């Protein structure tokens, strides 16, 4: 198959570069395909010159293209003989109509379709010779050929064919051929997806110990903090930089966004995921959003298996390799992170790597690393293989607070100009304050529309400083009730807090409402005890766990 693909590229490059405006013939309804009479070619009117291109150059080009079609079809043994019949039909139509240009477009389209099928099957390591969809296509092409031969015999009694009638016959032939190839393409893609699905259904992958709650687009439930996307019109420059980085092969393998709490790292990560997913140049293939609130999302042992599982959903070759690895070591998901990285990422990725050229750049997003307990245990071997180039053609976006273990692993201080790190660093809270303030003003103006005055919005923007979380918390605090009078009261309280203690003051106001309003003294004391326990433990607890 690879040899056929190489020959196709070499022979067809010159042809396809000649006329970039050609496109595939639209799929039409299936119909019987009458054949023209070769002996009546001289009866075709010459009034429509574009349909009667008979120059020696174009005819020779068609002959060459037919040869290429036969050559690329050799990659599909059941198809090659049937394509020979189609080529015979095309030669008949060329002889009788002189409509060489239209037939040339059809043949080029068939070459492209055949090459696409070949590339997809080769990429996913599937044998076309045993695929029913290829056999079905060959059968349909044989039926078309037989129909043409039958119509050819019947038509001998009719000695005069009008040009429009010949055009109708050619169009009917093109529609039937095109539809047959399109149906084959759909069946092949479905077979590939089914094959991946069967692999994923197997217990070997379900036992990887992945966390579905860590996927970026998982609905974790109303009891947990929900990640939001950046409001349209905000964070433009940062998101544009991320898009450029992800879509550019020459850019760094890794990109680390770090900043203090409340600067909007997770919101940016969510928006980046959406951008990568919609991009034509890169593709979001896996994500892990850490969360201190959810046990499985703060467990470092879940990170590598979760990324591996998502990659298996995207790349069939990865899934096949992963299954073989799991069959050889069914306990791999419980091994040390160093072994997980090698067996669940590096080795399966080797099976995919050779087929990634000229395809979308795969991107993985890991958010809020600081919210994962002992994250350095999974991060250290992952960063090591990134720096060693063992996950080539794959990109990683990280976000976290600037905690020392993470800073050390990201090599933000240990690399030189001569030996640069493969992980690019971006300090989020160092973004120009004017830019951040403008974005925050857009956010609060949208969130408090109809509630706050222009002066209040400006005051709130200034109070927020560089902290999106302050603005977001105020909006949530104010809009958390429907009574307009209470909304205005909450807004006024938020604006009166000390500028230098904004977060502490803000949450003190929230706690006051929760702890003081409408409760007896002993109830308030119990609530404070619960809060103090949670603060001391520094992790979420169930009611049962607090007893």
Joined together, the tokens standing for residue 275 give: 């951008």
Number of residues written out for the chain: 547
Joined together, the tokens standing for residue 58 give: 């174009």
DSSP string across 504-542: HHHHHHHHHHHHHTT--HHHHHHHHHHHHHHHHHTS---
| Amino acid 25: pLDDT | 37
Task: Count other C-beta atoms under 10 Å from residue 373's C-beta.
Answer: 13
pLDDT at 52 over 90: no
pLDDT tens for residues 67-123? Answer: 777 776 776 766 777 788 888 788 777 777 666 777 788 888 888 887 777 776 766
Does residue 76 sit in the same domain as residue 217? no
| Amino acid 159: pLDDT | 42
Average pLDDT, the chain: 77
**Alpha-carbon gap, residue 246 to 284, rounded angstroms:** 10
**Alpha-carbon gap, residue 187 to 184, rounded angstroms:** 5
DSSP string across 266-305: HHHHHHHHHHHHH-SSEEEEEEEE--TTSGGGSBGGGHHH
| Listed range (50-59, 107-116, 439-448) with the worst mean pLDDT | 50-59
| Amino acid 358: pLDDT | 60
Does residue 389 sit in the same domain as residue 349? yes
Q: 298 in a domain, yes or no?
A: yes
Work out the average pLDDT over 434-441: 93
Work out the average pLDDT over 488-513: 69
pLDDT at 267 over 50: yes
How much of the chain exceeds pLDDT 70, in percent? Answer: 70
* 3-class DSSP assignment, residue 36: coil
| Amino acid 33: pLDDT | 39
| Amino acid 53: pLDDT | 34
Return left, alpha or beta for 146; rule: phi > 0 is left, psi -120 to 50 is alpha, else beta.
alpha
| Enclosing H/E stretch for 257 | strand 254-258
Q: Which residues contact 255 (CB under 8 A, 6 or more apart)?
A: 242, 245, 395, 396, 397, 398, 423, 424, 426
What is the domain extent for residue 299?
206-430
Does residue 280 sit in the same domain as residue 374? yes
The number of domains in the chain is 3
Residue of higher predicted confidence among 304 and 34: 304
**Alpha-carbon gap, residue 414 to 260, rounded angstroms:** 22
pTM for this model (two decimals): 0.61
Last residue of a domain, one of 375, 404, 430: 430
Farthest-apart Cα atoms in the chain, separation: 107
Does residue 248 sit in the same domain as residue 390? yes
Task: Count other C-beta atoms under 10 Å from residue 432's C-beta.
Answer: 10
C-alpha 7 chain-centroid distance:
31
Q: Where are the alpha helices (DSSP H) in 202-235?
A: 203-206
Q: 521 in a domain, yes or no?
A: no
pLDDT at 512 over 80: no
DSSP string across 333-399: GGS-HHHHIIIIIIHHHHHHHTT-TTSPEEEEEEE-GGGSBTTHHHHHHHHHHHHTTTTTT-EEEEE
Last residue of a domain, one of 399, 430, 461: 430
Q: Which residues of 226-239 are buried (b: 16+ CB within 10 A; e: fewer)?
A: ebebbbeebbeebb
| Amino acid 43: pLDDT | 34
Task: Count other C-beta atoms under 10 Å from residue 70's C-beta.
Answer: 15
Does residue 194 sit in the same domain as residue 214? no
pLDDT tens for residues 179-201? Answer: 888 888 877 777 766 666 665 55
| Amino acid 381: pLDDT | 97
Q: 538 in a domain, yes or no?
A: no
Residue of higher predicted confidence among 39 and 3: 3
Task: Count other C-beta atoms under 10 Å from residue 272's C-beta.
Answer: 29
Closest CA to 28 of 140, 209, 212, 178: 178
Joined together, the tokens standing for residue 531 give: 């809060």
pLDDT tens for residues 342-395? Answer: 999 999 999 898 777 667 899 999 999 999 999 999 999 999 999 999 999 999
CATH number at residue 349: 3.40.50.300
Q: Which residues contact 63 (CB under 8 A, 6 or more apart)?
A: none
Q: 532 in a domain, yes or no?
A: no
Query: Is 441:404 a contact under the CB 8 Å cutoff?
Result: no
Return left, alpha or beta for 264; rule: phi > 0 is left, psi -120 to 50 is alpha, else beta.
left
**Residue 526 CA: distances (Å) to CA of 517, 519, 534:** 14, 11, 13
Joined together, the tokens standing for residue 443 give: 């956010």
pLDDT tens for residues 298-314? Answer: 999 999 999 999 998 88
Q: 31 in a domain, yes or no?
A: yes
Does residue 367 sit in the same domain as residue 279? yes
Joined together, the tokens standing for residue 67 give: 């040869």
**Alpha-carbon gap, residue 193 to 125, rounded angstroms:** 13
Q: How many CA atoms lie within 13 A of 148 on its CB side?
A: 26
pLDDT at 32 over 90: no
Work out the average pLDDT over 488-498: 82
Residue of higher predicted confidence among 384 and 33: 384
pLDDT at 44 over 50: no
* 3-class DSSP assignment, residue 117: helix
Mean pLDDT: which of 58-67, 407-416, 439-448 is highest?
A: 439-448
Q: 176 in a domain, yes or no?
A: yes
| Amino acid 535: pLDDT | 80
**Alpha-carbon gap, residue 294 to 448, rounded angstroms:** 30
Last residue of a domain, one of 405, 430, 455: 430
Does residue 65 sit in the same domain as residue 185? yes
* 3-class DSSP assignment, residue 255: strand
| Amino acid 194: pLDDT | 62
Query: Is 411:421 a contact under the CB 8 Å cutoff?
Result: yes
* 3-class DSSP assignment, residue 423: strand
Does residue 416 sit in the same domain as residue 379? yes
Give me the sheet containing 423-427, strands edge to edge: 282-289, 361-367, 395-400, 254-258, 423-427
Q: 526 in a domain, yes or no?
A: no
Does residue 177 sit in the same domain as residue 259? no
**Residue 138 CA: distances (Å) to CA of 86, 104, 111:** 10, 21, 15
Q: 466 in a domain, yes or no?
A: yes
Does residue 225 sit in the same domain as residue 247? yes
pLDDT at 477 over 60: yes
**Alpha-carbon gap, residue 152 to 38, rounded angstroms:** 9
Joined together, the tokens standing for residue 76 give: 């599909």
Joined together, the tokens standing for residue 138 give: 């060959």
| Enclosing H/E stretch for 84 | helix 77-97
Q: Which residues of 273-284 are buried (b: 16+ CB within 10 A; e: fewer)?
A: bebbeebeebbb
Does residue 396 sit in the same domain as residue 439? no
Does residue 306 sit in the same domain as residue 176? no
Closest CA to 407 of 254, 258, 255, 245: 258
């Amino acid at each position: 198959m690879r040899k056929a693909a190489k020959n196709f590229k070499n022979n067809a490059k010159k042809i396809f570069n000649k006329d970039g405006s050609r496109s595939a013939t639209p799929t039409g309804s299936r119909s019987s395909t009458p054949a023209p009479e070769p002996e009546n070619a001289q009866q075709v009117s010459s009034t429509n010159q574009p349909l009667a291109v008979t120059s020696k150059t174009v005819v020779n080009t068609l002959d060459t293209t037919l040869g290429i079609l036969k050559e690329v079809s050799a990659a599909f043994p059941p198809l090659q003989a049937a394509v020979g019949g189609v080529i015979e039909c095309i030669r008949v139509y060329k002889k009788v109509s002189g409509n060489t240009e239209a037939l040339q477009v059809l043949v080029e389209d068939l070459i492209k379709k055949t090459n696409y099928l070949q590339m997809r099957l080769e990429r996913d390591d599937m044998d076309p010779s045993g695929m029913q969809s290829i056999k079905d296509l060959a059968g349909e092409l044989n039926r078309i050929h037989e129909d043409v031969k039958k119509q050819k015999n019947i038509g001998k009694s009719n000695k005069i064919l009008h040009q429009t009638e010949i055009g109708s016959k050619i169009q009917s032939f093109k529609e039937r051929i095109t539809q047959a190839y399109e149906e084959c393409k759909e069946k092949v893609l479905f077979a590939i997806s089914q094959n991946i699905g069967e692999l994923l259904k197997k217990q070997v992958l379900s036992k990887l110990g992945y966390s579905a709650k860590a996927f970026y687009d998982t609905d974790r439930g109303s009891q947990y903090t929900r990640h939001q996307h950046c409001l349209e019109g905000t964070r433009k420059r940062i998101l544009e930089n991320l898009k450029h980085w992800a879509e550019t092969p020459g850019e760094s393998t890794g990109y680390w966004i770090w900043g203090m709490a409340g600067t909007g790292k997770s919101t940016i990560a969510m928006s980046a995921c959406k951008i990568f997913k919609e991009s034509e140049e890169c593709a979001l293939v896996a994500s892990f959003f850490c969360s201190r609130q959810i046990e499985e999302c703060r467990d470092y042992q879940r990170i590598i298996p979760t990324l591996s599982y998502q990659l298996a959903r995207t790349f069939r070759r990865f899934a096949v390799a992963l299954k073989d690895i799991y069959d050889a070591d069914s306990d791999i998901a419980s091994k040390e992170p160093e072994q997980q990285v090698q067996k669940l990422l590096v080795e399966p990725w080797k099976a995919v790597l050779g087929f990634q050229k000229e395809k979308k750049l795969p991107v993985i997003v890991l958010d809020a690393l600081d919210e994962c307990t002992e994250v350095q245990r999974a991060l250290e071997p992952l960063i090591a293989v990134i720096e060693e180039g063992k996950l080539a053609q794959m990109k990683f976006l990280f976000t976290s607070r600037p905690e020392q273990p993470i800073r050390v692993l990201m090599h933000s201080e240990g690399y030189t100009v001569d030996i640069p790190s493969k992980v690019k660093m971006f300090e989020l809270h160092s973004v120009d304050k004017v830019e951040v303030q403008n974005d925050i003003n857009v956010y609060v103006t949208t969130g408090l529309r109809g509630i706050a005055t222009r002066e209040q919005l400006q005051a709130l923007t200034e109070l927020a400083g560089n902290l999106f979380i302050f603005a977001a918390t105020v909006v949530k605090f104010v809009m958390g009730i429907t009574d307009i009078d209470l909304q205005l009261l909450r807004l006024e309280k938020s604006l009166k807090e000390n500028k230098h203690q904004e977060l502490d003051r803000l949450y003190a106001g929230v706690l006051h409402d929760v702890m003081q309003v409408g409760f007896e003294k002993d109830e308030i004391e119990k609530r404070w005890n619960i809060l103090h326990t949670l603060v001391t433990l520094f992790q979420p607890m169930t009611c049962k766990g607090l007893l």
